[in-house]
Amino acid sequence: MTRQVKQLDRVIIRFAGDSGDGMQLTGDRFTQDTAAFGNDLSTLPNFPAEIRAPAGTMAGVSSFQVHFADHDILTPGDAPDVLVAMNPAALRANLGDVPRGATIIVDTHDFSARNLAKAGYTENPLTNGTLTQFRVHAVDLTTLTVEAVKEFGLTRKDASRAKNMFALGLLSWMYGRPTEPTTEFLTTRFGAKPTLRDANVTAFRTGWNFGETTEAFAVTYEIKPAAMPSGRYRNVTGNAALAFGLIAAGQQSGLPVFLGSYPITPASDILHELSKHKRFGVTTFQAEDEIAGVGAALGAAFGGALGVTTTSGPGVCLKSETLGLAVMLELPLLVCDIQRGGPSTGLPTKTEQSDLLQAMFGRNGEAPLPIVAPRSPADCFDATLEAVRIAVTYRTPVMLLSDGSLANGSEPWLLPDVADLAPIDPDFATAPNARADDGGGSFLPYLRDEDTLARPWAVPGTPGLMNRVGGLEKADRTGDISYDPDNHDLMVRTRQAKVDVIARSLPPTEVDDPGAELGRGARMLVVGWGSTYGAIGAAVRRVRRDRRQVAQVHLRHLNPLPPDLGEILARYDRVVVPEMNLGQLALLLRGRYLVDALSHTQVSGMPFKAAPLADVLRGHLRQLDGQPAVQHSERHPAAGVPA
């Protein structure tokens, strides 16, 4: 049989199944193999908060989407070209996202009346003609798997659990993925259990061979490696990159890293990762609660360690009082908020960027602290180093705002040369900084550096610098308790000024406005922050493909904002701010710059998709041209654009 090989520039595959079906592992393996092949890629895991929701129900569906291409891509993709559905619920839960003409591979094994009912189907979608607009491959993957691994004598249950590897094998064949990495992975993973190892490897190979030998699949696809900057790459998730950033920050500063943390989704993986790397002088402390996590980190910082706490929104609420103390003590401290859907317990496994205002203002009194946000999974590494630089240099707690999609999403990471990482100088106080009445040296714990306004970091054990700090208002310079009205006014303004002067250390803001240098710049600017970088960038590219001009700025520093931002905003006739909240950055920009920043918001727990976001931007451009925002020919209504 001659097989057709079709060239594609990019593909989006979504693996979907029950929470117990191993879809996250399947997606992760496909991703690793794709990375090894050399495509650019971006991933979006999506799973329920319940560990094992009732099997076969919509509530228990877990999915993993991977977007890979022969060119540089920015997002995990809008709609899957291929859906792999391991049961009726997985099909039903994901079908709405699948565009007409896409491929659906279904494991038919669980399409019994009972399981169809569990998923909410009244009739079998595989036979009632509702899927005619898709290319459906209905295969009993489970039975094929059980047959293939029969020789290993596993229970039927254990044998059928290898079906995810069968599916992986089949997809690997279809898209020409290398098989060695997964074979090696399975060999290591199940090294202690040879039967499971052999069964999984066999299922994987059988899946591959099934594609190769049956005639059901007439086409394979080829997606050439992407032309990426030269260098050594690995695939990395945001949480892993953040953990590596902390270890690197410890190395670059020479400070022992102390993580005080209480497990919380989606931040726990940072605790897990760091706890494996004690040889880098990392101590991980699983505290009794969120408050103790940050408290212990602050205590460690008082003692001269790099104090870190990791959490998500609900945990930040609990840590607020300690953050206020850290603002008052002026000690370096890093708080990593891996944002999730809120308020309250909200959507633990879904993404959102709705903690920005909490990070800015969520403490009593005037308690400013710097805020840094990574823009992509790999960028979590650099953003962490930047946050630590600020914390240590300016003696301040810093909030690092990642989110669920960055935490669990992954992308290729061009590995940095460790020798190029900037050092971070703790610059501990070692000697008196003032003269006492008797002519000897004395120590003023709140005497500030003229440039940074930072106070000395005098750690216990340093002779002659004994001092007491605390949450009560301090007298300027001496740090003694002071209830003096003028002193309080001075100290409140000084703490704010210290955060403000950080702006001086920031690089010029990068404005992506290709025509600007030729004097043909865009009239509209899109401003974003955090994980929306990819989606906004992809939407901007789409708009530019229409030969329309739009500029993009993506903020890494949310507090203080870059010093040139006001001038940049003023250059554009329209400023649009897409956010996964109800307009928190837009509120800050409006308040700070008196600019009419127009918010575009989505709070669905899912990242923006590029196509609808592009339509929103097109709508804004039409309005700038004096036309109505909505055009009927568009596939996606331009929601959020004032008509």
Partner 1 sequence: MTAVDLPGPVLARDGLADVPTSDDTQTRKDYASDQEVRWCPGCGDYIVLNAVQGFLPDLGLRRENIVFVSGIGCSSRFPYYLDTYGMHSIHGRAPAIATGLAITRPDLSVWVVTGDGDALSIGGNHLIHALRRNVNLTILLFNNRIYGLTKGQYSPTSETGKVTKSTPLGSVDRPFNPVSLALGAEGTFVARTIDSDRAHLTEVLRAAASHRGTSIVEIYQNCPIFNDGAFDAFKDKNSREATVISLRHGEPVRFGPDGALGVTRDSVTGSMRVVEVADVGESALVVHDAAADDPSSAFALSRLTDAGALQQSPIGIFRQVEQPTYDDLARQQVATAQGTEGAGDSAGLAALLAGTDTWTVA
**What DSSP character marks residue 476?**
T
Judged by CB under 8 A, the chain residues 14 through 43 that form the site for partner 1 are 32, 35-36, 38
Tokens of 462: 């340093």
CB of 615 to partner 1, least distance (A): 34
When asked if residue 68 is in the footprint of partner 1 (CB under 8 A), the reply is no
Number of residues near partner 1 (by CB under 8 A): 72
CB of 303 to partner 1, least distance (A): 4
Nearer of residues 40 and 513 to partner 1, judged by Cβ: 40
CB of 243 to partner 1, least distance (A): 10
**67 phi and psi, to 5 degrees?**
-115, 125
**263 phi and psi, to 5 degrees?**
-55, 130
When asked if residue 431 is in the footprint of partner 1 (CB under 8 A), the reply is no
Nearer of residues 304 and 562 to partner 1, judged by Cβ: 304
Peptide bond into 266 cis (omega under 30): yes
Judged by CB under 8 A, the chain residues 366 through 405 that form the site for partner 1 are 381
Alpha-carbon distance of 176 to 221, in angstroms, equals 7
**Inter-CA distances, 2 with 8, 110, 205, 212, 431, Å:** 19, 33, 21, 11, 81
Identify the residue among 11, 141, 305, 621 touching partner 1 (CB under 8 A): 305
Q: Which stretch binds partner 1 (CB under 8 A): 145-153, 189-197, 467-475, 586-594?
A: 467-475
Place of tokens 């669980």: 110
**Inter-CA distances, 126 with 58, 101, 133, 641, Å:** 18, 16, 12, 39
Closest C-alpha among 577, 59, 51, 611 to residue 353: 577
When asked if residue 519 is in the footprint of partner 1 (CB under 8 A), the reply is no
When asked if residue 176 is in the footprint of partner 1 (CB under 8 A), the reply is no
Judged by CB under 8 A, the chain residues 95 through 134 that form the site for partner 1 are none
When asked if residue 292 is in the footprint of partner 1 (CB under 8 A), the reply is yes
Place of tokens 């009593």: 364
Judged by CB under 8 A, the chain residues 328 through 347 that form the site for partner 1 are 329
Q: Is the Cβ–Cβ distance between 93 and 58 less than 8 Å?
A: yes
When asked if residue 327 is in the footprint of partner 1 (CB under 8 A), the reply is no
CB of 408 to partner 1, least distance (A): 17
Nearer of residues 301 and 551 to partner 1, judged by Cβ: 301
Closest C-alpha among 494, 517, 241 to residue 384: 241
Q: Which stretch binds partner 1 (CB under 8 A): 141-149, 273-281, 551-559, 610-618?
A: 273-281
Alpha-carbon distance of 310 to 335, in angstroms, equals 6
Identify the residue among 183, 195, 251, 482 touching partner 1 (CB under 8 A): 251
Alpha-carbon distance of 196 to 390, in angstroms, equals 49
Q: Which stretch binds partner 1 (CB under 8 A): 300-308, 492-500, 572-580, 600-608?
A: 300-308
Q: Which stretch binds partner 1 (CB under 8 A): 59-67, 142-150, 463-471, 603-611?
A: 463-471
Judged by CB under 8 A, the chain residues 581 through 640 that form the site for partner 1 are none
When asked if residue 460 is in the footprint of partner 1 (CB under 8 A), the reply is yes
For 224, other C-beta atoms within 10 Å of its C-beta total 15
Nearer of residues 288 and 486 to partner 1, judged by Cβ: 288
CB of 301 to partner 1, least distance (A): 8
Hey, CA dihedral for 32, 33, 38, 41, is it positive or negative? Answer: negative
* CA neighbours closer than 13 Å in the CB half-sphere of residue 425: 4
